[in-house]
Structures are given as C-alpha cells and as structure tokens.
Amino acid sequence: MRELCFITVGNAEIHFILLFSRQGKLRLQKWYTTLPDKEKKKIIREIVQIILSRNQKTSSFVDWKDLKLVYKRYASLYFCCAIEDQDNELLTLEVVHRYVELLDRYFGNVCELDIIFNFEKAYFILDEFIIGGEVQETSKKTAVKAIEESDMLQETVEEYMNKPAF
Amino acid sequence: MALKMVKGSIDRMFDKNLQDLVRGIRNHKEDEAKYISQCIDEIKQELKQDNIAVKANAVCKLTYLQMLGYDISWAAFNIIEVMSASKFTFKRIGYLAASQCFHEGTDVIMLTTNQIRKDLSSPNQYDTGVALTGLSCFVTPDLARDLANDIMTLMSHTKPYIRKKAVLIMYKVFLKYPESLRPAFPRLKEKLEDPDPGVQSAAVNVICELARRNPKNYLSLAPLFFKLMTSSTNNWVLIKIIKLFGALTPLEPRLGKKLIEPLTNLIHSHSQHRDLTGICASVSVLISLSSGMPNHSASIQLCVQKLRILIEDSDQNLKYLGLLAMSKILKTHPKSVQSHKDLILQCLDDKDESIRLRALDLLYGMVSKKNLMEIVKKLMIHVDKAEGTTYRDELLTKIIDICSQSNYQYITNFEWYISILVELTRLEGTRHGHLIAAQMLDVAIRVKAIRRFAVSQMAMLLDNAHLIASNAQRNGICEVLYAAAWICGEFSEHLEEANQTLEAMLRPKVTTLPGHIQAVYVQNMVKLYASILQQKEQAGEKEAAQEITQLMIERLPQFVQSADLEVQERASCILQLIKYIQKLQIKEVPVAEEVIALFAGELNPVAPKAQKKVPVPEGLDLDAWINEPPSDSESEDEKPKTIFHEEEQRHSRHRQPEIDEEELARRREARKQEQANNPFYIKSSPSPQKRYQDTPGVEHIPVVQIDLSVPLKVPGMPMSDQYVKLEEERRHKQKLEKDKKKKKQKKEKRGKHHRHNSLHTESEEDIAPAHHVDIITEEMPENALPSDEDDKDPNDPYKALDIDLDKPLADSEKLPVQRHRNVETLKSPDSEVPLVEKKSKKPKKKEKKHKDKERDKGKKKEKEKKVVEEEEEEKKKSSKHKKKKHKKEKEEKSKDKKKSKKKSHHSEEEPPESVQNGTLEDEPLPVSSCAQTYDIQGNLQNDSQVTVSVIFENKSTSFLKSMELNVLDSLNTKMLRPEGSSVHDGIPVPFQLPPGISNEAQFVFTLQSIVMAQKLKGTLSFIVKNDEGSTHEKLDFKLHFSCASYLITTPCYSDAFAKLLESGDLHMSSIKVDGISISFQHLLAKICFHHHFSVVERVDSCASMYSRSIQGHHVCLLVKKGENSVSIDGKCNDSTLLSNLLDEMKETLSKC
C-alpha cells in the first residue's frame, strides 16, 4: 500500500519514460517524479517484464498500479511512458511517436545503435521536447532547431582535444 | 615537442570516451560487472584531474553507467563542478548528469542555488535553457523558494524559447513552494495570450494541470479558455483545454450548455479525417461531454454511438479507449450504456488483458436485479478459463464487488450468492481467500433468512476442508475455513448433522492450518459442542452426551500442543472447562443450559468507522494519562500481555452490557424508527423464522442430489446454476401469479378492496427477492456524526495549491528576493513580517477598497525598499569581480539562507498576525536629514507586545550613521531593550543610511494595558557625515499608539456573534455622528480599514461588525445610518477600551 501511495505523489503528466530493447536492455530512462534509486530499479524491472510478455497484437495500454503504461514498439526498441489515470492515452502515444520522429530527424533514419552510442543526445532531444513531464514544444521544426543550435555551441570533446588549448 | 608530450598525456587520460565505454561494455558481455568496476576506478582517477574536459568526460560516462543501474551518487560533487563549467559543452553534460541522479535527498543540491541563478541570468539562451531543464528534474522546496523570483522574471524573457520553459517549470515551483502561486499567477495568466504559440500552449498546460486539481479557483478563467478553444488550431492545446473544461463543467452547469455546440462540431470534423490526434481529441471531448451534461440525452446518444464504433474497431487501442470512455459515461448515464451489454460481454473474450479489465469495469456498473445472475454466470465461466492468476484474481474481486455493491442491492436470491461464493473457493492459488471469507461472514450475519442454508454449505466446506487446505501454506483460500468454522459455530442451531461437523473440525489435519484459523476452530467447536449437548440432554440421551464430551477431551490436546499461542491458550482453557463438564456429567447433573449460556446473545454487525464517528465528549482529553506511567525499573519486570491476532479481535464476542428492560425497549423503538426512515433497509416481516418456513422452494433445496452427477466437483457442493434455474422458475411463476392477479383485479375493477401490495409493482425491474431477506443494518453508536469526510487524504500534494487566485495580492505576498537582511540583528524573532498571506482576515465586500489603499501604501514602501536592493545588487556585482572573495561570500550566502529557512519555518508554525496602523506622523526636521514613517503591529502571539516598524529615509545629502533610537518609557508602555541596559539607553539602528536611501527597522514595545491610547516621546540621535566632517544631530518625534492599533481584524460568523451578544458580560456604549455624506458602503470600509473591524452581517443601512484586541477583548459594533448621520452602538468586555475606540472612530468619521 505504501508503495502505491508513493507513486501517486508524482506530479507530472508523464511520470517517466523508458526505452528498452526487445532483450529487455534499458536504453534510456527519464523520471519526472522523484523516487529513490532502489525503487526505480524495481519499477523498471517490473515494467520491462510486463511489456515484453505482452502479445504483439494487443493494445498499447496496460494498467499498472495506479498508473497507466502507454507503450509502442519501433523496430527493436520499446518506448514506454507512465501516465496518470485521467490522462489521455492516445495523446501520450502521439508524444512517443513525436519523440521518435524527432530522433529520426536528428540522426537521420535512427536505429537502436544511434541511441546507444549517442545516448546523451537522445536525452537532449527529449529535454527539448518534454520538460518536467509536460510537452513543451509541439512543433518539430522548433525543437530540432533548438537542438542543432545548441549543438553548434557544443564542441565535441574530440574537437576540444584537437585544439591547442595551452 | 613539449606540445606533443602534453597531448600524449591527455590522450592517455582520454583513453576512454563514452563511445569507447559503450563499445567496451558490449565487448565484455561475459564479465560486464568486472569491466565496469574497472571503468569506475578509471573514472575516479579522471575526476581527480584538474582539467574540466577530463572531468566532463568522466561525468558523461558516469551518466551512462547510471542508466545501466549503477550508483553514481558518490560523484554528486563532481557533477556540480562540471555544471558550473563556463563552457556550454561541459555545462550541458553536468546538468544532464544532475537531472538524472539528483533528487530531493541529495545533500549537495543546496550548493547549486547560486550556480543555477547565474546560469538562469546568462546572456546565452541555451545556458538558461539547460539550467531550466535540469531544474525541472531536481527542484527542491528550498530551490523553489530561492529561485521562484528568478524564474518568474524569465517568464517575460524576450526569447520565446526561454519563456516557454520558464512557464512550464513554474508549475514544478508551485508544487514545491505553494506560496509562489499567488504572486506568479497574474503573469502566468498573461502568458495565455502570448504571441508565441509554444509559450501559449505551455501556459495552457500549466493552468490546466493546476485547475484539474482545484477547479473551483479557476472558474473565472473559463471565458478566456472558451475564446482560446474556438480560435486555436493546435490539437495539443485543444485537448488540454477540453480536459480543463471537463474539470470545470461539474462546477458550473451553464458552461456545459455553452460548450455543447462547439464540441459537437469538433466531433464531426474529426471523425471525417481519421487522424490519430483528431480521434484523440474527440474521445476526450466525448468524455468531458458526458461528465458535464447530466441531462443532454442527444449528445450522450451521439457519444455512445461514436464509442460503439470505436469499440467495434479492429484496432485494439481504439477498442480500449472506447471502453474507457464508455465507463466514464456510465457513471452519469448508466441507462444509455446498458443497451450495449452484448458488445461489452464480447470484449470479455478479447485476448488482450487490458481490454478485458476495462470491460470488467463496465460490467460493474451495468448490473441490475434482472441481469446479475446472467452476468455473474458469464464471469464464472471466465474464471474457469482464465490462465493468469492476476486476471483470475481480478475477476474474483469483480464478481464480489458486483454482487455486494450498494448493500447487496441487486441480489434477489442469497442462496445463489452463497453457492457462488462456495464455488469460488475452488479457485486455486488465489490471494483473495479473505475476501470470500468476509463476504460469507457478512451475508450470514446480516441476512438472517439465509443462515440455515449458509450453515449447511459451510458444514460441507468444513467436511471437505482437506481439498481446500491441501496446500494451505501456499494459497490464501484456506481463509474461507475461518468463515466456515465461525458460521457453523455461531449459528449451530441450524446445523442438522452437528456431530459430523464437530468431528470434521477435530480432525488432526486441522493443525496444519494457519494459527488464527485454528484459534477460530477451537472457539467454535465449543459452541458446536454446547448445542449438541443441549440437543442430547433434551432428548434424554445421556450416553451420547457423555460420548461427545469424551471425544472433545480426546481430541483437544492436539491444539493444546499448538505452537501458536492463541490456539494454545484457547484450547487449554476449553479443555479444562470440558473436563469439569465431564465431572458434572458423571454426577448426572444437567449442564447444557449453563454451557449454552456461555454463548448467549445476538451478534450485531457494526458499521465501518463507527468508533471514529463518535464525537469525543467535551472535557475528555484522550492524550492525558489515566495513571502516571510507571518508572522504568518497574516496567522491565512486566511482561507483555498476550498478543491477539487482529482477526480474532474483530470477531471476538462483543457482549452486550446489562441494560434494563426499559432502556432496551427505548432503543429498540429508536432503531425501528431509524430503519423505517432508511430506504435501503428491507423491512423484516414480523417473525422472519416463521416466514422462512412458509416460503416455498427453500425447504426443498436439493442439496444432496446435485453432487452425484458431477463427480469432478467437490462432493456436496452446490451448483449455482441450479439456483439460476430455480430463480428463473420462481420469477416465471411470480409473473404468472401477477398476471393472474391483474386479471382478477380487472374483474373486480370496481371492487373497493385494497390495491395490490407495492412489492409487486408492474415494473420489470422490480423482481421480488426469493425470500424476504432481512438485511440487518450495520449498527452505529448513539450520537455518531453522520459525516463521511474522513476519507480525504491529508498528504495530498495538491492541497497546498488550493489557493484563491482572484483575491488581490497583499503586500506581504512577494516572492522572496535574495538580499541582505537588515532586520536580522533584531532581538524579537516574531517581528519578522510573515510571508503567510493575510487571506480571509477581512470581509470580502470591503476588501478591494482597502486592499487598494494598502497597496498604495505598499507601493510607497516598495519604492523605498527597492533602492536598498539596487544598492546591494551593485555590491554583489563588484564582489563577483573579486574572485578570491567569491568563495567567502558564497559561504555567507548559504549561511544567510539557513537563517532565512529557520525564519520562514517559524512563521509557518505560528504566523504572527500583523495589523498595520495607518497613522503617520512626520515631524518637520530642521536639517531635513531624516524622515520617519512607522507602522504599529499588534502581535497575537504575545498579548502584551506590539512591533513598531520604522522606515528611515535620508533626505539630506550627507551620510548618516550611528543612529540610535530612544523612547521615554511610560508606566504602561516600554520599549524592549536588550538585557542589562538601562531605561536611558537607546537602541542602535542596525544600518547606516547613505543619502537618499531609506530602510526599515523594527522595535518591540511591551504594554501593560491596552485600553487607552498612548503617546510616547522619543529621540533619534545620529551622526551626519559629509565632506566638512561629522556632526552629532538629534531628532525628536512622537509615537502615537491608538487603541485601534491593538485590534486585530478577526472574522466572526453571525451565529458566534449572536452568542457573544447574548452572553451579557459586555459593556455597552454608543455615539452618534452627524453630517455624514459618504455612502454607507464607503463608511463601513473606512471603519474596517482604520479600526481593524470586519463586517459580520449587513442588512440595508445597518451592519454589525466585530474585532478582537490582542489581549482578547471582543468588540462588537452595530452601525446604523440615518439621514446624514451615523449611530454606532458598541459592546466590549472593557468599557474604557470601548469608549476610547468610539472616540477614535468619531474622529475618523467626522473627518468625512
């Protein structure tokens, strides 16, 4: 019971987003509610198991504790969001889809490896799109532009090394 | 050459960047853990380097490891270091790491405040953006309080990119620091009409989330949102707005009517082009429609139609959503959904569990007396088919929920229900044994007529206990044995084969059951034994009676040896008792009567929370010690009392205290009365027992015949289907009878004989129960409160945000701005002006006016204050340049923060109510070097202290320092001086004043009596310093303490007010002022503002007002306005205070 209460104390529309592979390997996790690490790990394990055990042709929604999981599989990756009961499931699916589109536009035909090797970029894109569990930018163009511009500011570590910084 | 060398060493440090790490982990699949621990060691080395690039790289790798589930909290400080890097490259990584692993408990988080503030005000929008994003993940109450003002400023940033983020983060700030909501809300509202669509949608998002939790505070925004809805083309925004309206419509029915047209249009336009968000929107439209309009059947019909299309769709998602929306409509319009029962039952067969669960939810609301059996039958089939235990458990709870809802409203045949429950016990591995058990107990206790049947079924269960308890430890189903044993024992008079049941309960196998069940077994076998004993004695079979006693004595020892204390205790107690009975039996003494007397008395069900609802009698302190606690040495010797199981306590016999006949009769009468008024109480026939015998069908329940045909089932277990059939027959018969009667009635149309009983009304829905069930209402203690409010969760995080947003802002409601605290050195801690809003202190009607005034005054002050702030800003800037000092200052600041934390905490606990006095006394100054303004604030916490805040303004061109304020104390009023100083010492003002600057200091005065106004003379001495040198100057002033300044605006309700007036211990006095020309409204406002009163009630040109002094005097006024005159009658505990107050009032009023 205590565990349940704990989760309700979240305050965002989207409580967390998880990306994991078909083998159950976590690729990205973003939490919009604060939970202790131990709790997070437990939740991740549980959710990955629930979703992987579901048939492919079933609906994209699963009740989980007092939250709802909305997930979708793109190629080998599962994208999963946890939302509250009153929140709109289809809209959340749309959020997931939009995120995939953004990744696609940024990486150009995104695949799992892109996300593995550039995981920080995947986070940056997510941060431009969703903030504190709320969608902040509904326009794809603006979001991608923001990321590209801030990338311009960021010199890669390699570049930095190549510069004679002394 | 040297460059190459350095570079080489860097290369070595950089032997692993993130990509290398990822690749490495992928290549070390078999010994991943070992590889990673090796990497972490390397990272630790890298973090020790001075080079920020190396650190950032290390932190980046750590973030990746964190995602894989490794703890990186140890690197929190390094993350902060990287966050504060000047290069965006590193800052970005630092903030990412922080947002991934910081949380409220991270202790170093408080070190980030200044860094974040710096980044927020960075000229580079991406620095700001990254800080805001990070903040959204780890904002704590402290951060929220310290940064609220900065973020609010960002809401008006020139770049929409920043505005948008700031608006969204404001929501997080509100949650962590609710006091910020009111000051920030006006600006948030502005953002609804921001030119940038992104910012606009962010503002809609935030307000929608806020409104969803506390809709009533946002009703005034409805027109604005309506405009947005009709003009917006953005689906995302539209959905949010619709969601918001969904929350608002229940509060404002007129809104629903207005919405209906645009919403219906939306549905039509969206169903034309089947885009996902379109459907999405229309679904939420549908849902909000249904919750908003209780009697708009046409639109509901439209909704249900569209939903049916969704449910029939092959897309599982749409099906799911259709069902979900349907269940929302069901709450308001059950009828329109019920017609789609077929479709919903069909969904129960869906292979997707989510969809099945949704369909189950729907079924719950769709049952009626007519279809309950059918639906449950269908569910029972699913129970058998279900493969996963979770789904099966879900089904089981749903069946029980459906049947037991609203006090078993839909059950017409309780035999059927009992047999359903018994069938459910066959479920293996369910966790819900206790649920079934609870239902069995509840039904058996509350439905008297069913007891005989229930007992026979339970006896069978006990007989077949080995089937249920075969793997007792593993599953929870054995809980039903608890209920079975209890029912058989308690209602043993209905048991036909009591001997057999008793033997079943005494089987050695029973000792493998859980302890609390065994305990119930032991207790109830005595009940059984008692009734058997009675039976035998009455029949004169002494031998048989002795035999049964012997059996008990033989078998009980197995329980005496139980490891469970409870079982052991009960068993040994009972064994002794029975041994004693045996002795008596040998002497041929009849004992049955006395044994049975052990269990005499009827058990009544008690309503849930009954105890809680009894109000605590006046004067009873539940926390007071009854006996003083014993000293430690004694308590050590004491052993803990026996621990009872919770279950035991619940069912432990609750004996009726001895009550005399009269009292009993009275109570019975009262209960009957209550039951008569209770529509849910099915009235009992004069003698339920007798009636039971008469009822056809019940006597001949073919319990024994059924089992033979179904070998797989538990022998002796009934099939609920049988009852379904029986019930159908019965209904059919009833209908026929009814028809007959109708005909009869028609025949004797003119017959003046009574109409038919209301029980047999024509409605199909009204199916008479099989036998008159007597549902005993749950008992409530006398004088219990009917309230049900105890269900609210006190920990709801949104409760704090339930703030009235339409009230104008008070002075005190400002976001905290970081500044030096000049008042810090003050002696009295309660002189701090609290942040707590002064809401509801003043009557609403008048509020606006004097709030305005207050604001004006506030503005003046604000101006003065701002100057100080600016000066400090400068200081800060200059200190930034002095890098060495930087650290020191940081420390200071954090100290400062700690202090302020303490303060705000304090003010939260006991907000000192402050009153402001409008009197203002400027003394003309010879040199005009200093002006003073002051406020007198009464303090509720301390009934003999007032705080005087003085604003000093330097009007000269010289520098003022060493200011000292002294007052000539009177007998009554004294300035609070630090200990050890004499009456002639002044109090130093804790700051200096450069030219043109003003600042505020506070002084505390103690008072003996407050019934008279006071004037105190005082001097301010200071040193004027200019180019020519410094001179010592003095300035005399007078402080006027009016009586009104001792009053505190306190709201009072008219009933309390009337009581106060009736009490008779108030003195009365009155005044009359002529020549008043202002309106009554205005007049009341004046009294409220200048004299701190609140209006209790106003009728035409007559009003009652109330206030309270800091020493607790009540002051009541009756103000009447005649032609050009006003009369005021006052009542107060103290006549002097009253007459002084009235004099002051006269003065104020004569001015207008």
For chain A, first and last CA: distance in Å? 59
Candidate from B53, B243, B324 with C-beta closest to A157: B53
Beta bridge partners of B693: none
Distance of CA B655 to the CA centre of its chain: 37
- Picking from B14, B197, B206, the nearest residue to A161 by CB comes out as B14
Q: What residues of A are in contact with residue B7 (Cβ under 8 Å)?
A: 161
Domain ranges, ordered by start, for chain A: 14-160
> How close, in Å, is residue A133 to chain B by CA atoms?
9
Q: Provide, as residue numbers in chain B, all residues whose Cβ is less than 8 Å from the Cβ of A127.
A: 96, 99, 133
What's the rounded Cα separation, in Å, for the pair B839 and B479?
A: 54
Question: Among B355, B277, B373, B269, which Cα is nearest to B312's?
Answer: B355
> What architecture does CATH give domain B110-213?
Alpha Horseshoe (1.25)
Of residues A34, A146, A166, nearest to B161 (C-beta): A146
Do residues B142 and B110 touch, judged by C-beta distance below 8 A?
yes
Contact call for B69 and A63, based on CB within 8 A: no
Task: Work out the angle at residue B1042's Cα, subtended by the Cα atoms of residues B1038 and B1046, and round it to the nearest 5 degrees.
Answer: 125
> In Å, how far from its chain's centre is CA B94?
37
Compute φ and ψ for A64, nearest 5 degrees.
-145, 115
Q: Which residues pair with B1095 in a beta bridge?
A: B1105
Is residue A138 within 8 Å of residue B201, measured between CB atoms? yes
**Alpha-carbon distances, residue A29 vs A81, B179, B430, B488, B724 (angstroms):** 10, 32, 34, 56, 53
Cα dihedral across residues B68, B70, B76, B78: positive or negative: negative
Which residues in chain B (53-82) have CB-CB distances under 8 A to chain A? 53, 56-57, 60, 63-64, 67-69, 71, 73
- Residue A58 and residue B316: Cβ atoms within 8 Å? yes
Q: What is the CATH number of domain B930-1041?
A: 2.60.40.10
Is B351–A58 a contact, with Cβ atoms under 8 angstroms apart? yes
Q: Residue holding tokens 């004097």?
A: B850
The residue among A160, A162, A163, A166 with the most chain B CBs within 10 A of its CB, best to mutate, is: A160
CB contact under 8 A, B206 and A134: yes
- Going by C-alpha positions, the residue among B528, B507, B529 that lies closest to residue B518 is B507
B277–A contact, CB cutoff 8 A: yes
Residue B19 in contact with partner chain A when CB distance is under 8 A: yes
Whether residue B282 lies within 8 A of chain A, CB to CB, comes out as no
For the whole model, what pTM was predicted? 0.60
The answer to whether the beta carbons of residues B835 and B904 sit under 8 Å apart is: yes
| Inter-chain touch B103–A34, beta carbons under 8 Å | yes
Contact B68 A26 (CB under 8 A): yes
Selected from 3.50.50.60, 3.60.130.10, 3.30.450.60, 3.40.50.300, the CATH number assigned to the domain covering A14-160 reads 3.30.450.60
| Domain ranges, ordered by start, for chain B | 1-101, 110-213, 222-292, 438-597, 930-1041, 1047-1150
Q: How many CB atoms lie within 10 A of CB B1109?
A: 25
Q: Is B279 on the interface with A (CB under 8 A)?
A: yes
- Looking at beta carbons, which residues of chain B come within 8 Å of A6? none
Among candidates B124, B165, B198 on the partner chain, residue whose Cβ is nearest the Cβ of A142: B198
Nearest residue to B1060 (alpha-carbon basis) of B1087, B1097, B1028? B1097
Residues of B in contact with A44 (CB under 8 A): 69
Residues near A71 by beta carbon (within 8 Å), at least 6 away in sequence: A51, A60, A62, A78, A79, A80, A81, A96
Q: A89, B321: Cβ pair inside 8 Å? A: yes
Q: What is the pLDDT of residues B717-753, one digit of tens each?
A: 456 667 777 777 777 777 777 666 666 655 554 444 4
**How many cross-chain Cβ pairs, A to B, lie less than 8 Å apart?**
180
Distance from the Cα of residue B297 to its chain's centroid? 34
**Chain A residues within 8 A of B67 when measuring between CB atoms:** 26-29, 119
A138 closest CB neighbour out of B169, B201, B276: B201
Residues of A in contact with B99 (CB under 8 A): 127
d(C-alpha B1136, C-alpha B614), whole Å = 45
Fold of B1047-1150: TATA-Binding Protein (3.30.310)
Residues 197-256 of chain B with CB under 8 A from chain A are 197-198, 201-202, 205-206, 209, 212, 234, 236-237, 239, 243
Distance, in angstroms, between B327 CA and closest chain A CA?
12
Enter the ipTM.
0.90
Measured between beta carbons, the chain B residues lying within 8 angstroms of A137 are 164, 198
A120 contact residues in B (CB cutoff 8 A): 18, 60, 63-64, 93, 96
Which residues, at least 6 apart from B118, have a Cβ–Cβ distance to it below 8 Å? none
Q: Is A28 helix (H, G, I), strand (E, B) or coil?
A: strand
- Residue B470 burial (10 A CB sphere; 0-12, 13-18, 19+): middle
Inter-chain residue contact B136 with A139, CB threshold 8 Å: no
Identify the three-state secondary structure at position B1121: strand
Residue B126 contacts A where some CB pair is shorter than 8 Å: yes
Interface contact A11-B243, CB threshold 8 A: no
HEC states along B1025-1065? EECCEEEEEEEEEEEEECHHHHEECCCCCHHHHHHHHHCCC
Pull the structure tokens for residue B1070: 């009155």
Closest residue to A120, CB basis, from B6, B96, B283: B96
Our measurement of the distance from residue B1145's CA atom to the centroid of its chain's CA atoms, rounded to an integer in Å, reads 46
DSSP assigned state of B757: P
| Percent of chain B scoring above 70 in pLDDT | 70
Q: Which residues of chain B have pLDDT under 70?
A: 1-15, 269-297, 429, 468-475, 631-661, 663-664, 671-721, 738-798, 810-813, 816-943, 1152
Give me the residue from B133, B205, B319 closest to A59, CB to CB.
Answer: B319
Alpha-carbon B643 to chain mean position: 33
Distant-in-sequence contacts of B77-83, Cβ < 8 A, 24+ apart: B77/B108, B78/B47, B80/B108, B80/B111, B80/B112, B80/B115, B81/B52, B81/B55, B82/B52, B82/B55, B82/B56, B83/B112, B83/B115, B83/B134
Tokens of B775: 């549902």
The tokens for B461 are 């269960």
Instruction: Tell me which chain B residue has its CA closest to the CA of residue A163.
Output: B7
**Matching fold, domains B110-213 and B1047-1150:** no
Which chain A residue has its CA at the smallest distance from B236's CA?
A138
Strand ranges for B209-279 from DSSP E: none
Using a CB–CB cutoff of 8 Å, tell me whether B645 touches chain A: no
Q: Long-range contacts of range B707-710, CB-CB < 8 Å, 24 or more positions apart?
A: none
pLDDT along chain A (166 residues), means of 10: 35 83 91 84 92 86 88 92 84 89 90 88 91 83 84 64 48
**Which member of A28, A91, A142 has the closest CB to residue B67?**
A28
How are strands ordered across the β-sheet holding A67-74?
A: A26-31, A14-21, A77-83, A67-74, A61-64
Residues 6 or more apart whose Cβ sits within 8 Å of residue B237: A138, B197, B200, B201, B204, B228
Alpha-carbon distance of B700 to B64, in angstroms, equals: 74
Q: How many residues does chain B have?
A: 1152
Cα nearest neighbour of A118 on chain B: B19
> Would you state the structure tokens that stand for residue B303, as one six-digit string?
């909704």
Q: Are B178 and B801 in contact (CB under 8 A)?
A: yes
The tokens describing B1145, both together, are 């009032």
> Distance (Å, rounded) from C-alpha A26 to C-alpha B68?
7
**DSSP-derived pairing of the beta strands B1094-1099 and B1102-1109:** antiparallel
Written as one letter, the residue type at B9 is S
Nearest CB partner across the interface for B168, out of A60, A134, A155? A134
- From the CA atom positions of chain B, what is the Rg in Å? 40
- In this complex, do B164 and A136 lie within 8 Å of one another by their Cβ atoms? yes
What pLDDT, on a 0 to 100 scale, did the predictor assign at position B1135? 85
Distance from CA of A41 to the nearest CA of B (A): 7
Q: Which DSSP helix (H) or strand (E) runs through B169?
A: helix B160-176
Pairwise CA distance, residues B72 & B74, whole Å: 5
Q: Are B373 and B727 in contact (CB under 8 A)?
A: yes
What sign for the dihedral angle of Cα B71, B77, B81, B83? Answer: positive
